[in-house]
Structure 1
Amino acid sequence: MNKSTLAAVILALLLKAFPLQAQEWKPLFNGKDISDWFVKIHHHATGVNFGNTFRVEDGMIKVRYDQYGDFSDQFGHLYYKQPFSSYHLKLEYRFTGEWCKTAPSYTILNSGVMFHSQDPRTMPVEQDWPISIEMQFLAGLGDGQPRPTGNMCSPGTHIVYQGKLDTRHCINSTSKTYGKDEWVRAELIVLRDSLITHIINGDTVLQYSKPQIGGPVVNRYDPQQKQDGKVLSSGFIALQSEGQPIDFRNIVIREIK
Protein backbone atom coordinates (compact mmCIF):
# COMPACT_ATOMS: atom_id res chain seq x y z
CA MET A 1 0.00 0.00 0.00
CA ASN A 2 1.55 3.32 -1.04
CA LYS A 3 1.47 6.47 1.10
CA SER A 4 -1.39 8.17 -0.79
CA THR A 5 -3.59 5.05 -0.55
CA LEU A 6 -2.80 4.68 3.14
CA ALA A 7 -3.67 8.35 3.73
CA ALA A 8 -7.00 7.90 1.94
CA VAL A 9 -7.84 4.86 4.08
CA ILE A 10 -6.95 6.71 7.29
CA LEU A 11 -9.06 9.72 6.21
CA ALA A 12 -12.04 7.47 5.48
CA LEU A 13 -11.75 5.83 8.90
CA LEU A 14 -11.49 9.20 10.64
CA LEU A 15 -14.54 10.56 8.83
CA LYS A 16 -16.48 7.46 9.82
CA ALA A 17 -15.45 7.85 13.45
CA PHE A 18 -15.87 11.64 13.53
CA PRO A 19 -18.54 12.58 10.98
CA LEU A 20 -18.45 16.04 9.44
CA GLN A 21 -21.15 18.34 10.75
CA ALA A 22 -22.79 20.47 8.09
CA GLN A 23 -24.73 23.60 8.98
CA GLU A 24 -27.95 24.73 7.30
CA TRP A 25 -27.95 25.81 3.67
CA LYS A 26 -27.62 29.56 3.30
CA PRO A 27 -28.15 31.65 0.14
CA LEU A 28 -25.17 33.70 -0.99
CA PHE A 29 -27.28 35.51 -3.59
CA ASN A 30 -30.59 37.04 -2.51
CA GLY A 31 -32.04 37.16 -6.03
CA LYS A 32 -32.45 40.94 -5.88
CA ASP A 33 -29.06 42.64 -5.82
CA ILE A 34 -25.34 42.09 -5.26
CA SER A 35 -25.08 44.14 -2.08
CA ASP A 36 -23.35 41.19 -0.37
CA TRP A 37 -20.74 40.98 -3.14
CA PHE A 38 -17.99 43.24 -4.46
CA VAL A 39 -16.15 43.48 -7.77
CA LYS A 40 -12.53 43.48 -8.91
CA ILE A 41 -11.91 43.92 -12.64
CA HIS A 42 -8.45 44.05 -14.22
CA HIS A 43 -7.36 47.69 -14.86
CA HIS A 44 -9.86 48.97 -12.27
CA ALA A 45 -9.84 49.46 -8.51
CA THR A 46 -11.64 47.02 -6.24
CA GLY A 47 -15.32 47.93 -6.04
CA VAL A 48 -15.60 49.43 -9.54
CA ASN A 49 -18.18 47.46 -11.53
CA PHE A 50 -16.91 48.69 -14.91
CA GLY A 51 -19.52 48.62 -17.67
CA ASN A 52 -22.11 47.20 -15.27
CA THR A 53 -20.43 43.85 -15.97
CA PHE A 54 -22.16 42.11 -13.07
CA ARG A 55 -25.87 42.90 -12.88
CA VAL A 56 -29.03 41.35 -11.46
CA GLU A 57 -32.00 40.67 -13.72
CA ASP A 58 -34.79 38.09 -13.54
CA GLY A 59 -33.50 36.72 -10.24
CA MET A 60 -30.09 35.91 -11.72
CA ILE A 61 -26.59 37.35 -11.63
CA LYS A 62 -25.83 38.15 -15.25
CA VAL A 63 -22.38 38.80 -16.70
CA ARG A 64 -22.56 41.10 -19.73
CA TYR A 65 -20.23 43.21 -21.90
CA ASP A 66 -22.63 45.43 -23.87
CA GLN A 67 -21.09 48.58 -22.33
CA TYR A 68 -17.53 47.60 -23.24
CA GLY A 69 -15.57 48.86 -26.22
CA ASP A 70 -12.45 46.77 -26.67
CA PHE A 71 -12.28 44.03 -24.04
CA SER A 72 -8.67 44.97 -23.18
CA ASP A 73 -8.13 41.95 -20.92
CA GLN A 74 -10.60 43.33 -18.40
CA PHE A 75 -11.01 39.99 -16.66
CA GLY A 76 -13.32 40.37 -13.69
CA HIS A 77 -14.51 38.60 -10.57
CA LEU A 78 -17.48 39.11 -8.28
CA TYR A 79 -16.55 38.18 -4.69
CA TYR A 80 -18.81 37.21 -1.85
CA LYS A 81 -18.18 39.52 1.10
CA GLN A 82 -16.58 36.97 3.46
CA PRO A 83 -14.06 34.12 3.16
CA PHE A 84 -14.87 30.44 3.78
CA SER A 85 -12.80 27.41 4.74
CA SER A 86 -14.77 24.12 4.78
CA TYR A 87 -18.06 24.10 2.91
CA HIS A 88 -20.38 22.68 0.26
CA LEU A 89 -21.22 25.21 -2.46
CA LYS A 90 -24.01 24.76 -5.02
CA LEU A 91 -24.92 26.93 -7.99
CA GLU A 92 -26.40 26.74 -11.46
CA TYR A 93 -24.94 28.41 -14.55
CA ARG A 94 -25.62 28.70 -18.26
CA PHE A 95 -23.63 30.27 -21.06
CA THR A 96 -25.61 32.58 -23.29
CA GLY A 97 -25.35 35.49 -25.71
CA GLU A 98 -22.46 36.45 -27.95
CA TRP A 99 -18.84 36.14 -26.93
CA CYS A 100 -16.95 39.46 -26.79
CA LYS A 101 -14.87 39.24 -29.98
CA THR A 102 -11.97 41.29 -28.62
CA ALA A 103 -11.46 38.90 -25.70
CA PRO A 104 -8.84 36.11 -25.98
CA SER A 105 -10.13 33.15 -28.00
CA TYR A 106 -9.72 30.71 -25.10
CA THR A 107 -12.52 32.55 -23.25
CA ILE A 108 -15.23 31.38 -25.68
CA LEU A 109 -17.90 29.58 -23.63
CA ASN A 110 -15.50 29.69 -20.68
CA SER A 111 -16.03 30.96 -17.13
CA GLY A 112 -15.79 29.62 -13.59
CA VAL A 113 -15.95 30.10 -9.86
CA MET A 114 -12.79 30.93 -7.92
CA PHE A 115 -12.27 29.73 -4.35
CA HIS A 116 -9.61 29.90 -1.65
CA SER A 117 -8.92 33.22 -3.36
CA GLN A 118 -6.81 36.03 -1.99
CA ASP A 119 -8.71 39.05 -0.73
CA PRO A 120 -9.22 41.25 -3.83
CA ARG A 121 -8.42 44.28 -1.71
CA THR A 122 -4.82 43.01 -1.69
CA MET A 123 -4.67 43.05 -5.50
CA PRO A 124 -3.00 45.95 -7.32
CA VAL A 125 -5.13 47.57 -10.03
CA GLU A 126 -3.06 45.88 -12.76
CA GLN A 127 -3.08 42.34 -11.30
CA ASP A 128 -4.94 40.26 -13.87
CA TRP A 129 -6.08 37.19 -11.87
CA PRO A 130 -6.48 36.51 -8.16
CA ILE A 131 -4.20 33.94 -6.55
CA SER A 132 -6.81 31.20 -6.20
CA ILE A 133 -8.12 27.83 -7.34
CA GLU A 134 -10.77 27.80 -10.08
CA MET A 135 -13.59 25.38 -10.79
CA GLN A 136 -13.67 26.06 -14.52
CA PHE A 137 -16.91 25.98 -16.52
CA LEU A 138 -16.88 25.22 -20.25
CA ALA A 139 -19.53 24.46 -22.87
CA GLY A 140 -19.24 22.49 -26.08
CA LEU A 141 -18.18 24.42 -29.18
CA GLY A 142 -20.63 22.60 -31.46
CA ASP A 143 -17.85 20.79 -33.29
CA GLY A 144 -18.62 17.34 -31.93
CA GLN A 145 -15.49 17.31 -29.77
CA PRO A 146 -15.70 16.62 -26.03
CA ARG A 147 -15.26 19.67 -23.81
CA PRO A 148 -15.70 18.72 -20.15
CA THR A 149 -16.76 21.20 -17.51
CA GLY A 150 -16.00 21.35 -13.79
CA ASN A 151 -12.27 21.35 -14.49
CA MET A 152 -9.53 22.67 -12.19
CA CYS A 153 -7.40 25.68 -13.11
CA SER A 154 -4.76 27.23 -10.88
CA PRO A 155 -3.79 30.90 -11.27
CA GLY A 156 -0.73 31.34 -9.06
CA THR A 157 -1.34 28.00 -7.35
CA HIS A 158 -0.67 24.26 -7.49
CA ILE A 159 -2.57 21.22 -6.18
CA VAL A 160 -1.84 17.59 -5.30
CA TYR A 161 -3.52 15.29 -7.84
CA GLN A 162 -3.37 11.50 -7.78
CA GLY A 163 -0.85 11.63 -4.97
CA LYS A 164 1.63 14.01 -6.61
CA LEU A 165 2.18 17.75 -6.77
CA ASP A 166 0.70 18.76 -10.13
CA THR A 167 1.93 22.02 -11.64
CA ARG A 168 -0.30 22.01 -14.72
CA HIS A 169 -2.44 25.13 -15.01
CA CYS A 170 -5.60 23.15 -15.81
CA ILE A 171 -6.71 19.55 -15.27
CA ASN A 172 -9.79 18.27 -17.08
CA SER A 173 -12.62 16.58 -15.23
CA THR A 174 -14.48 13.46 -16.37
CA SER A 175 -17.74 15.32 -16.99
CA LYS A 176 -19.94 15.12 -20.04
CA THR A 177 -20.04 17.98 -22.56
CA TYR A 178 -22.90 20.44 -22.08
CA GLY A 179 -24.15 22.97 -24.59
CA LYS A 180 -24.65 26.71 -24.68
CA ASP A 181 -27.94 27.92 -23.14
CA GLU A 182 -28.14 24.72 -21.05
CA TRP A 183 -28.43 25.10 -17.28
CA VAL A 184 -25.78 23.05 -15.46
CA ARG A 185 -25.69 22.27 -11.72
CA ALA A 186 -22.23 22.65 -10.23
CA GLU A 187 -21.20 21.69 -6.70
CA LEU A 188 -17.92 22.22 -4.90
CA ILE A 189 -17.05 20.48 -1.63
CA VAL A 190 -14.00 22.00 0.04
CA LEU A 191 -12.47 20.61 3.24
CA ARG A 192 -9.91 23.27 4.13
CA ASP A 193 -6.55 22.27 2.61
CA SER A 194 -7.58 18.61 2.43
CA LEU A 195 -9.95 16.96 -0.06
CA ILE A 196 -11.64 19.08 -2.76
CA THR A 197 -14.44 17.56 -4.86
CA HIS A 198 -16.05 18.87 -8.07
CA ILE A 199 -19.59 17.63 -8.87
CA ILE A 200 -21.49 18.32 -12.11
CA ASN A 201 -25.20 17.47 -12.43
CA GLY A 202 -24.85 15.04 -9.52
CA ASP A 203 -21.72 13.24 -10.76
CA THR A 204 -18.34 13.50 -9.02
CA VAL A 205 -15.99 14.52 -11.84
CA LEU A 206 -12.73 15.54 -10.14
CA GLN A 207 -10.97 15.28 -6.77
CA TYR A 208 -7.65 16.64 -5.51
CA SER A 209 -6.06 18.06 -2.38
CA LYS A 210 -3.45 20.37 -0.82
CA PRO A 211 -4.08 23.65 -2.72
CA GLN A 212 -1.03 25.86 -2.32
CA ILE A 213 0.48 29.05 -3.69
CA GLY A 214 2.95 28.61 -6.55
CA GLY A 215 3.45 28.83 -10.29
CA PRO A 216 2.74 31.39 -13.02
CA VAL A 217 -0.36 32.86 -14.77
CA VAL A 218 -0.93 35.62 -12.19
CA ASN A 219 0.87 38.83 -13.16
CA ARG A 220 1.75 42.17 -11.50
CA TYR A 221 0.83 40.97 -8.02
CA ASP A 222 2.08 42.26 -4.68
CA PRO A 223 5.05 39.94 -3.89
CA GLN A 224 4.00 39.81 -0.24
CA GLN A 225 0.80 38.03 -1.33
CA LYS A 226 2.53 35.29 -3.33
CA GLN A 227 4.32 33.13 -0.80
CA ASP A 228 5.07 30.05 -2.90
CA GLY A 229 4.51 26.80 -1.03
CA LYS A 230 1.98 28.28 1.42
CA VAL A 231 -0.95 25.89 1.79
CA LEU A 232 -4.38 27.47 1.26
CA SER A 233 -7.02 26.47 3.82
CA SER A 234 -9.49 29.33 3.33
CA GLY A 235 -10.29 32.25 1.06
CA PHE A 236 -12.91 34.12 -0.92
CA ILE A 237 -15.41 32.72 -3.44
CA ALA A 238 -15.83 34.65 -6.71
CA LEU A 239 -17.81 34.36 -9.95
CA GLN A 240 -15.83 35.03 -13.10
CA SER A 241 -16.16 37.33 -16.11
CA GLU A 242 -13.69 36.85 -18.94
CA GLY A 243 -15.48 37.73 -22.17
CA GLN A 244 -18.38 35.27 -22.42
CA PRO A 245 -21.88 36.20 -21.21
CA ILE A 246 -23.07 33.82 -18.50
CA ASP A 247 -25.92 33.62 -15.98
CA PHE A 248 -25.73 32.34 -12.38
CA ARG A 249 -28.60 31.43 -10.07
CA ASN A 250 -29.48 29.40 -6.95
CA ILE A 251 -26.13 30.06 -5.25
CA VAL A 252 -26.18 28.44 -1.81
CA ILE A 253 -23.61 27.26 0.71
CA ARG A 254 -23.45 25.26 3.90
CA GLU A 255 -20.39 25.38 6.06
CA ILE A 256 -18.87 22.14 7.37
CA LYS A 257 -17.31 21.58 10.77
Structure 2
Amino acid sequence: MLLALTRCTTSKRSRQAAEWLTLFNGQDLREWTVKIQHHEVGENFGNTFRVADGAIQVRYDQYGDFNDQFGHLYYQVPFSYYHLKLEYRFVGALQRGAPSYTLRNSGVMFHAQDPHTMPKEQDWPISIEFQFLGGLGDGQPRPTGNMCSPGTQIVYKGQLDERHCIESTSKTYDGDQWVKAELIVLGDSSITHIINDDTVMRYAKPQIGGGVVNRYDPALKQDGKLLTSGFIALQSEGQPVDFRNIELQDLSKRR
Protein backbone atom coordinates (compact mmCIF):
# COMPACT_ATOMS: atom_id res chain seq x y z
CA MET A 1 0.00 0.00 0.00
CA LEU A 2 2.84 2.38 0.87
CA LEU A 3 4.50 1.71 -2.49
CA ALA A 4 1.21 2.31 -4.31
CA LEU A 5 0.64 5.55 -2.40
CA THR A 6 4.18 6.72 -3.19
CA ARG A 7 3.67 6.01 -6.89
CA CYS A 8 0.33 7.83 -6.86
CA THR A 9 1.85 10.89 -5.15
CA THR A 10 4.83 10.92 -7.53
CA SER A 11 2.50 10.63 -10.53
CA LYS A 12 0.36 13.53 -9.25
CA ARG A 13 3.44 15.73 -8.76
CA SER A 14 4.67 14.85 -12.24
CA ARG A 15 1.34 15.85 -13.76
CA GLN A 16 1.37 19.13 -11.84
CA ALA A 17 4.93 19.84 -12.92
CA ALA A 18 4.01 19.20 -16.55
CA GLU A 19 0.98 21.51 -16.62
CA TRP A 20 1.28 24.28 -19.20
CA LEU A 21 -1.06 27.20 -19.75
CA THR A 22 -1.87 27.76 -23.42
CA LEU A 23 -1.58 31.52 -23.99
CA PHE A 24 -2.65 31.38 -27.64
CA ASN A 25 -5.60 29.16 -28.52
CA GLY A 26 -4.70 28.98 -32.23
CA GLN A 27 -8.01 30.55 -33.27
CA ASP A 28 -8.31 34.19 -32.16
CA LEU A 29 -6.79 37.00 -30.09
CA ARG A 30 -9.48 37.36 -27.44
CA GLU A 31 -6.95 37.08 -24.60
CA TRP A 32 -4.55 39.60 -26.13
CA THR A 33 -4.39 43.42 -26.31
CA VAL A 34 -2.79 45.47 -29.09
CA LYS A 35 -0.81 48.69 -28.60
CA ILE A 36 0.71 50.32 -31.70
CA GLN A 37 2.55 53.64 -31.74
CA HIS A 38 0.38 56.54 -33.05
CA HIS A 39 -2.74 54.60 -32.01
CA GLU A 40 -4.74 54.10 -28.84
CA VAL A 41 -4.47 50.89 -26.87
CA GLY A 42 -6.75 48.21 -28.34
CA GLU A 43 -6.63 49.52 -31.93
CA ASN A 44 -5.24 46.82 -34.20
CA PHE A 45 -4.29 49.23 -36.98
CA GLY A 46 -4.10 47.65 -40.42
CA ASN A 47 -4.98 44.24 -38.95
CA THR A 48 -1.32 44.04 -37.98
CA PHE A 49 -1.85 41.10 -35.66
CA ARG A 50 -4.03 38.38 -37.12
CA VAL A 51 -4.57 34.62 -36.86
CA ALA A 52 -4.18 32.13 -39.70
CA ASP A 53 -3.10 28.49 -39.94
CA GLY A 54 -2.89 28.17 -36.15
CA ALA A 55 -0.36 31.00 -35.81
CA ILE A 56 -0.32 34.66 -34.82
CA GLN A 57 0.78 36.48 -37.95
CA VAL A 58 2.33 39.95 -37.98
CA ARG A 59 1.64 41.59 -41.35
CA TYR A 60 1.78 45.06 -42.95
CA ASP A 61 -0.12 44.67 -46.23
CA GLN A 62 -2.57 47.40 -45.18
CA TYR A 63 0.10 49.90 -44.12
CA GLY A 64 1.71 51.77 -46.97
CA ASP A 65 4.76 53.39 -45.34
CA PHE A 66 5.62 51.88 -41.97
CA ASN A 67 5.71 55.32 -40.32
CA ASP A 68 7.30 54.15 -37.04
CA GLN A 69 4.17 52.25 -36.11
CA PHE A 70 5.98 49.93 -33.72
CA GLY A 71 3.49 47.52 -32.21
CA HIS A 72 3.14 45.04 -29.37
CA LEU A 73 0.55 42.36 -28.68
CA TYR A 74 0.10 41.78 -24.93
CA TYR A 75 -1.20 38.74 -23.14
CA GLN A 76 -4.00 39.78 -20.79
CA VAL A 77 -2.34 39.23 -17.39
CA PRO A 78 1.16 39.79 -15.98
CA PHE A 79 3.49 37.07 -14.70
CA SER A 80 6.49 36.95 -12.37
CA TYR A 81 7.97 33.42 -12.07
CA TYR A 82 7.46 31.33 -15.20
CA HIS A 83 8.79 29.27 -18.08
CA LEU A 84 7.61 30.55 -21.46
CA LYS A 85 8.00 28.63 -24.70
CA LEU A 86 7.00 29.39 -28.27
CA GLU A 87 8.07 29.03 -31.89
CA TYR A 88 8.69 31.83 -34.38
CA ARG A 89 9.68 32.21 -38.01
CA PHE A 90 10.44 35.16 -40.25
CA VAL A 91 8.59 35.42 -43.56
CA GLY A 92 8.47 37.90 -46.41
CA ALA A 93 10.21 41.24 -46.90
CA LEU A 94 10.74 44.19 -44.61
CA GLN A 95 7.92 46.73 -44.85
CA ARG A 96 8.66 49.92 -46.79
CA GLY A 97 9.84 52.67 -44.44
CA ALA A 98 10.76 50.36 -41.55
CA PRO A 99 14.23 50.93 -40.05
CA SER A 100 16.94 48.77 -41.60
CA TYR A 101 17.87 47.28 -38.23
CA THR A 102 14.43 45.65 -38.05
CA LEU A 103 15.20 43.34 -40.98
CA ARG A 104 14.46 39.78 -39.77
CA ASN A 105 14.17 41.22 -36.29
CA SER A 106 11.39 40.67 -33.75
CA GLY A 107 11.03 39.44 -30.21
CA VAL A 108 9.08 39.01 -27.02
CA MET A 109 8.90 41.79 -24.45
CA PHE A 110 8.57 40.66 -20.83
CA HIS A 111 8.38 42.31 -17.40
CA ALA A 112 6.68 44.96 -19.57
CA GLN A 113 4.51 47.82 -18.36
CA ASP A 114 0.73 47.57 -18.70
CA PRO A 115 -0.22 48.67 -22.25
CA HIS A 116 -2.95 50.86 -20.77
CA THR A 117 -0.22 52.99 -19.14
CA MET A 118 1.43 53.78 -22.50
CA PRO A 119 0.71 57.17 -24.10
CA LYS A 120 -0.41 57.08 -27.74
CA GLU A 121 3.02 58.16 -29.02
CA GLN A 122 5.21 55.92 -26.85
CA ASP A 123 7.32 53.66 -29.10
CA TRP A 124 8.41 50.76 -26.88
CA PRO A 125 7.12 49.56 -23.53
CA ILE A 126 9.49 49.82 -20.57
CA SER A 127 10.49 46.17 -20.57
CA ILE A 128 13.16 43.56 -21.26
CA GLU A 129 13.23 42.09 -24.77
CA PHE A 130 13.97 38.48 -25.68
CA GLN A 131 15.17 39.46 -29.16
CA PHE A 132 14.84 37.22 -32.21
CA LEU A 133 17.08 37.72 -35.25
CA GLY A 134 17.19 35.75 -38.47
CA GLY A 135 20.29 35.12 -40.53
CA LEU A 136 20.67 37.24 -43.66
CA GLY A 137 22.00 34.43 -45.84
CA ASP A 138 25.40 36.11 -46.19
CA GLY A 139 27.41 33.61 -44.17
CA GLN A 140 27.88 36.09 -41.33
CA PRO A 141 26.94 35.14 -37.76
CA ARG A 142 23.71 36.69 -36.49
CA PRO A 143 22.76 35.08 -33.19
CA THR A 144 19.19 35.03 -31.93
CA GLY A 145 17.80 34.91 -28.39
CA ASN A 146 19.58 38.13 -27.49
CA MET A 147 18.72 40.63 -24.74
CA CYS A 148 17.62 44.21 -25.45
CA SER A 149 16.51 46.75 -22.88
CA PRO A 150 14.12 49.59 -23.76
CA GLY A 151 14.04 51.77 -20.66
CA THR A 152 15.75 49.08 -18.61
CA GLN A 153 19.09 47.59 -17.61
CA ILE A 154 20.31 44.23 -16.34
CA VAL A 155 23.15 42.71 -14.34
CA TYR A 156 25.22 40.61 -16.74
CA LYS A 157 28.25 38.60 -15.65
CA GLY A 158 28.06 40.20 -12.23
CA GLN A 159 27.98 43.83 -13.35
CA LEU A 160 25.33 46.37 -14.26
CA ASP A 161 25.44 46.42 -18.06
CA GLU A 162 24.25 49.61 -19.77
CA ARG A 163 24.35 48.27 -23.34
CA HIS A 164 20.98 48.34 -25.06
CA CYS A 165 21.48 44.91 -26.65
CA ILE A 166 23.72 42.01 -25.67
CA GLU A 167 24.28 39.09 -28.04
CA SER A 168 23.64 35.52 -26.98
CA THR A 169 25.81 32.53 -27.86
CA SER A 170 23.23 31.01 -30.22
CA LYS A 171 23.73 29.72 -33.72
CA THR A 172 22.54 31.64 -36.78
CA TYR A 173 19.21 30.51 -38.26
CA ASP A 174 18.73 31.44 -41.91
CA GLY A 175 15.59 31.23 -44.02
CA ASP A 176 11.97 30.85 -42.96
CA GLN A 177 12.45 27.92 -40.58
CA TRP A 178 10.59 27.65 -37.30
CA VAL A 179 12.82 28.28 -34.28
CA LYS A 180 11.92 27.20 -30.74
CA ALA A 181 12.51 29.84 -28.07
CA GLU A 182 12.19 29.44 -24.31
CA LEU A 183 12.44 31.97 -21.50
CA ILE A 184 12.79 31.11 -17.81
CA VAL A 185 12.04 34.11 -15.61
CA LEU A 186 12.40 34.01 -11.83
CA GLY A 187 11.15 37.43 -10.77
CA ASP A 188 14.08 39.82 -10.51
CA SER A 189 16.62 37.14 -9.56
CA SER A 190 17.42 35.12 -12.68
CA ILE A 191 16.55 35.06 -16.39
CA THR A 192 17.57 32.35 -18.86
CA HIS A 193 17.27 32.35 -22.67
CA ILE A 194 17.05 29.01 -24.51
CA ILE A 195 17.04 28.53 -28.32
CA ASN A 196 16.32 25.10 -29.83
CA ASP A 197 17.09 23.46 -26.47
CA ASP A 198 20.45 25.26 -26.04
CA THR A 199 20.92 27.71 -23.16
CA VAL A 200 22.33 30.81 -24.85
CA MET A 201 22.22 33.55 -22.19
CA ARG A 202 21.75 34.16 -18.45
CA TYR A 203 21.50 37.39 -16.47
CA ALA A 204 19.84 38.89 -13.40
CA LYS A 205 18.34 41.91 -11.65
CA PRO A 206 16.28 43.47 -14.49
CA GLN A 207 15.55 47.06 -13.53
CA ILE A 208 14.24 50.33 -14.89
CA GLY A 209 16.94 52.61 -16.32
CA GLY A 210 18.73 53.62 -19.50
CA GLY A 211 17.24 55.09 -22.64
CA VAL A 212 15.81 54.04 -26.05
CA VAL A 213 12.16 54.20 -24.94
CA ASN A 214 10.54 57.55 -25.81
CA ARG A 215 7.48 59.63 -24.90
CA TYR A 216 6.59 57.55 -21.86
CA ASP A 217 4.81 58.72 -18.73
CA PRO A 218 7.70 60.02 -16.53
CA ALA A 219 5.95 58.81 -13.40
CA LEU A 220 6.48 55.21 -14.54
CA LYS A 221 10.20 55.42 -15.31
CA GLN A 222 11.59 55.00 -11.82
CA ASP A 223 15.27 54.32 -12.59
CA GLY A 224 16.82 51.67 -10.38
CA LYS A 225 13.52 49.98 -9.53
CA LEU A 226 13.83 46.21 -9.87
CA LEU A 227 11.33 44.52 -12.19
CA THR A 228 9.77 41.55 -10.42
CA SER A 229 6.84 40.99 -12.78
CA GLY A 230 5.12 42.37 -15.86
CA PHE A 231 3.32 41.67 -19.08
CA ILE A 232 4.43 39.49 -22.01
CA ALA A 233 4.10 41.00 -25.50
CA LEU A 234 4.89 39.88 -29.04
CA GLN A 235 6.67 42.47 -31.15
CA SER A 236 5.81 44.16 -34.45
CA GLU A 237 8.47 46.45 -35.89
CA GLY A 238 8.29 46.15 -39.68
CA GLN A 239 9.31 42.56 -40.39
CA PRO A 240 6.58 39.98 -41.10
CA VAL A 241 6.83 37.15 -38.58
CA ASP A 242 4.73 34.25 -37.28
CA PHE A 243 4.35 32.94 -33.72
CA ARG A 244 2.80 29.66 -32.63
CA ASN A 245 2.63 27.11 -29.77
CA ILE A 246 2.80 29.82 -27.11
CA GLU A 247 2.66 28.18 -23.68
CA LEU A 248 3.61 29.12 -20.13
CA GLN A 249 4.35 27.13 -17.02
CA ASP A 250 3.72 29.06 -13.80
CA LEU A 251 6.69 28.61 -11.45
CA SER A 252 5.46 30.91 -8.68
CA LYS A 253 4.47 28.01 -6.41
CA ARG A 254 8.04 26.66 -6.50
CA ARG A 255 9.56 29.79 -4.96
Same topology, TM > 0.5:
yes
Is 2:86–2:243's contact at 8 Å kept on the other side of the alignment? Answer: yes
- Residue 74 of structure 1: aligned partner: 69
What is the aligned counterpart of 1:224 among 213, 219, 228? 219
- Residue 237 of structure 2: aligned partner: 242
Indicate the SS of the match to 2:135. coil
Residues of 2 paired with 1:76 and 1:235: CA distance?
Answer: 17
Residues of 2 paired with 1:31 and 1:156: CA distance?
Answer: 32
Deviation at 1:135, TM superposition (A): 0.3
Indicate the percent of aligned positions where both proteins have the same amino acid: 76
Residues of 1 paired with 2:246 and 2:29: CA distance?
Answer: 12
What is the aligned counterpart of 2:36 among 30, 34, 41? 41
Alpha-carbon deviations, 1:218-245, whole Å to 9, x = none? Answer: 0010001100000000000000000000
Deviation at 1:142, TM superposition (A): 1.1
Q: TM-score under structure 1 normalisation? A: 0.91
Is 1:134–1:153's contact at 8 Å kept on the other side of the alignment? Answer: yes
Alpha-carbon deviations, 1:82-136, whole Å to 9, x = none? Answer: 0000000000000001111210000000000000000010000000000000000
Map 1:14-163 to 2 at 5 A: 22=17, 24-163=19-158
Is 2:149–2:164's contact at 8 Å kept on the other side of the alignment? Answer: yes
Q: TM-score under structure 2 normalisation? A: 0.92
- Residue 11 of structure 1: aligned partner: none
Is 2:64–2:96's contact at 8 Å kept on the other side of the alignment? Answer: no
Q: What is the Cα-based RMSD across aligned positions, in Å?
A: 0.9
Residues of 2 paired with 1:66 and 1:129: CA distance?
Answer: 22
Is 1:37–1:81's contact at 8 Å kept on the other side of the alignment? Answer: yes
Change (3 A) 1:22 1:85: farther
Amino acid at match of 2:61: D
Amino acid at match of 1:191: L
User: What stretches of structure 2 of length at least 5 have no aligned partner?
Assistant: 1-15
Residues of 2 paired with 1:95 and 1:31: CA distance?
Answer: 18
Deviation at 1:22, TM superposition (A): 4.8
Q: Which runs of 4+ in 1 moved over 4 A?
A: none
Indicate the SS of the match to 1:51. helix
Deviation at 1:217, TM superposition (A): 0.3
Residues of 2 paired with 1:212 and 1:131: CA distance?
Answer: 10
Equivalent residue pairs, number: 237
Deviation at 1:179, TM superposition (A): 1.2
Indicate the SS of the match to 1:121. helix
Amino acid at match of 1:153: C
Residues of 2 paired with 1:250 and 1:199: CA distance?
Answer: 15
Alpha-carbon deviations, 1:44-94, whole Å to 9, x = none? Answer: 000000000000001100000000011010000000000000000000000
Alpha-carbon deviations, 1:111-168, whole Å to 9, x = none? Answer: 0000000001000000000000000000011111000000000000000000000010
Q: Give the number of the structure whose alpha-carbon radius of gyration is greater.
A: 2
